[in-house]
């Protein structure tokens, strides 16, 4: 496959970012409806559509819709097979990790088998940790003849994480940090997010690194007594989080949590830096470092994180 530039369809926003980081933006012939970064992918043919809308549904309604669709073994995404056939890809990148995040691998594999008589390679990326994300970058590099570029991207990202570790080497305090991955019901963080917290110098024990995020209970949150809270509901940008807080009911006892009392609740671009297992998870760790240790790294800038006023958070 490396003998020519492949025609790539990415059915994952994170894979789209990886492909572009390797200098292959021009090879991307089709993307998802959520692929919005880097800017050069905007305007490429979208092959997916969602049946669920952040803009019109509350956090609780979205959770209910997702659960009922998936419990009925449906999908929350539509795949435009006709468009995919016309694009004649050599390589389709998808995932099996999460039916809520993207079109399921099974759907894509069946479609590819129907449409392309086995001429097209379907690759599934399964990252659970930051190490896995780096491995995915190398995998895409190897599939596209860009091994050297992939090594360079990974080396640069690893250097930035090392720089955080070095800056934090003398730090004694690791504030208890709760990254909320969904507002209603509340989700404790999983996969690579606890690692992002650890790299940023926070206590990451509320989540489970390498495992799926999970619903949590108000008692559990109160017992942890977080000193920093970061609102990062999967797939949301900061402005959407602020809008979602108008209708969301946060867990009982929220107002008494140390982070809320001291004004240390922040909203971040979850979809850019936390939900997507691509190169920008390192930026996510750097943003968290500014939230958790502003005395070392400086406070986050407005475009990175916004402080959430207590009056916006209701229980």
pLDDT tens-digit profile, the chain (315 residues): 444 678 999 999 999 999 999 999 999 999 998 899 999 999 999 998 877 765 667 767 776 666 665 554 456 678 888 888 899 999 999 877 655 556 666 777 677 766 676 678 888 898 999 999 999 999 999 999 999 999 999 999 999 999 999 999 989 899 999 999 999 899 999 999 999 999 999 999 998 888 888 999 999 999 999 999 999 998 899 999 999 999 999 999 999 999 999 999 999 999 999 999 999 999 999 999 999 999 999 999 999 999 999 999 998
Q: What total number of domains does the chain contain? A: 2
**Structural domain of 243:** 168-312
Assign residue 121 the CATH number of its domain: 3.40.50.1980
Same-domain check for residues 252 and 177 = yes
- Confidence at residue 85, expressed as pLDDT on a 0 to 100 scale: 87
Same-domain check for residues 176 and 145 = no
Same-domain check for residues 197 and 284 = yes
- Residue 81 has which token pair? 């097979």
Specify if 158 maps to a domain: no
Same-domain check for residues 218 and 125 = no
Q: Is 46 helix (H, G, I), strand (E, B) or coil?
A: strand
Same-domain check for residues 57 and 139 = yes
Same-domain check for residues 182 and 75 = no
- Confidence at residue 189, expressed as pLDDT on a 0 to 100 scale: 94
Specify if 181 maps to a domain: yes
- Confidence at residue 1, expressed as pLDDT on a 0 to 100 scale: 43
Last residue of a domain, one of 95, 119, 152: 152
How many whole angstroms separate alpha carbon 249 and alpha carbon 247? Answer: 7
- Confidence at residue 2, expressed as pLDDT on a 0 to 100 scale: 42
> Residue 104, exposed/middle/buried by CB under 10 A (0-12, 13-18, 19+)?
buried
Same-domain check for residues 16 and 75 = yes
Same-domain check for residues 114 and 225 = no
The number of angstroms, rounded, from the C-alpha of 122 to the middle of its chain's C-alpha atoms is 22
Same-domain check for residues 28 and 131 = yes
Same-domain check for residues 234 and 111 = no
Specify if 159 maps to a domain: no
How many whole angstroms separate alpha carbon 197 and alpha carbon 211? Answer: 15
Same-domain check for residues 235 and 298 = yes
- Confidence at residue 225, expressed as pLDDT on a 0 to 100 scale: 97
Specify if 257 maps to a domain: yes
Longest dimension (CA), the chain: 61
- Confidence at residue 28, expressed as pLDDT on a 0 to 100 scale: 96
pLDDT in tens, 225-271: 999 999 999 889 999 999 999 999 999 999 999 999 999 999 999 99
- Other C-beta atoms closer than 10 Å to the C-beta of 113 total 12
Specify if 99 maps to a domain: yes
Specify if 103 maps to a domain: yes
Same-domain check for residues 304 and 187 = yes
Last residue of a domain, one of 110, 125, 152: 152
Specify if 231 maps to a domain: yes
What DSSP assignment string belongs to 135-187? HHHHHHHHHTT-HHHHHHHHHHHHHHHHHHHHHTTT-----BEEEESBTTTTE
Specify if 161 maps to a domain: no
């Amino acid at each position: 496959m490396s003998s020519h530039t492949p025609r790539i369809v990415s059915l994952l926003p994170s894979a789209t970012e990886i492909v572009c980081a390797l200098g292959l933006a021009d090879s991307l012939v089709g993307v998802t409806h959520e692929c919005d970064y880097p800017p050069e992918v905007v305007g490429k043919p979208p092959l997916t559509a969602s049946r669920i809308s952040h803009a019109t549904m509350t956090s609780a309604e979205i959770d209910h819709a997702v659960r009922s669709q998936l419990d009925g073994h449906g999908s929350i995404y539509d795949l435009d097979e006709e468009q995919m056939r016309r694009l004649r890809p050599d390589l389709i990148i998808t995932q099996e990790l999460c039916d809520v995040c993207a079109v399921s691998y099974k759907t894509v594999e069946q479609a590819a088998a129907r449409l392309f008589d086995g001429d097209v390679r379907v690759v599934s990326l399964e990252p659970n940790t930051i190490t896995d994300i780096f491995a995915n970058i190398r995998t895409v590099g190897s599939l596209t003849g860009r091994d050297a570029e992939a090594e360079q991207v990974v080396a640069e990202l690893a250097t930035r994480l090392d720089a955080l570790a070095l800056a934090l080497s003398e730090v004694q305090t690791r504030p208890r940090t709760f990254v909320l991955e969904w507002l209603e019901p509340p989700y404790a963080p999983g996969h690579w997010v606890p690692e992002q917290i650890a790299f940023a110098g926070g206590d990451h024990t509320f989540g489970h690194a390498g495992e799926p995020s999970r619903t949590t209970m108000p008692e559990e949150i109160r017992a942890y007594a977080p000193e920093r809270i970061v609102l990062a509901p999967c797939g949301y940008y900061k402005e959407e989080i602020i809008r979602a807080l108008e209708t969301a009911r946060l867990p009982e006892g929220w107002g008494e949590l140390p982070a809320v009392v001291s004004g240390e609740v922040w909203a971040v671009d979850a979809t850019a830096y936390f939900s997507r297992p691509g190169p920008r998870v390192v930026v996510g760790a750097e943003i968290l470092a500014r939230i958790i240790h502003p005395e070392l790294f400086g406070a986050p800038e407005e475009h990175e994180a916004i402080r959430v006023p207590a009056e916006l958070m209701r229980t």
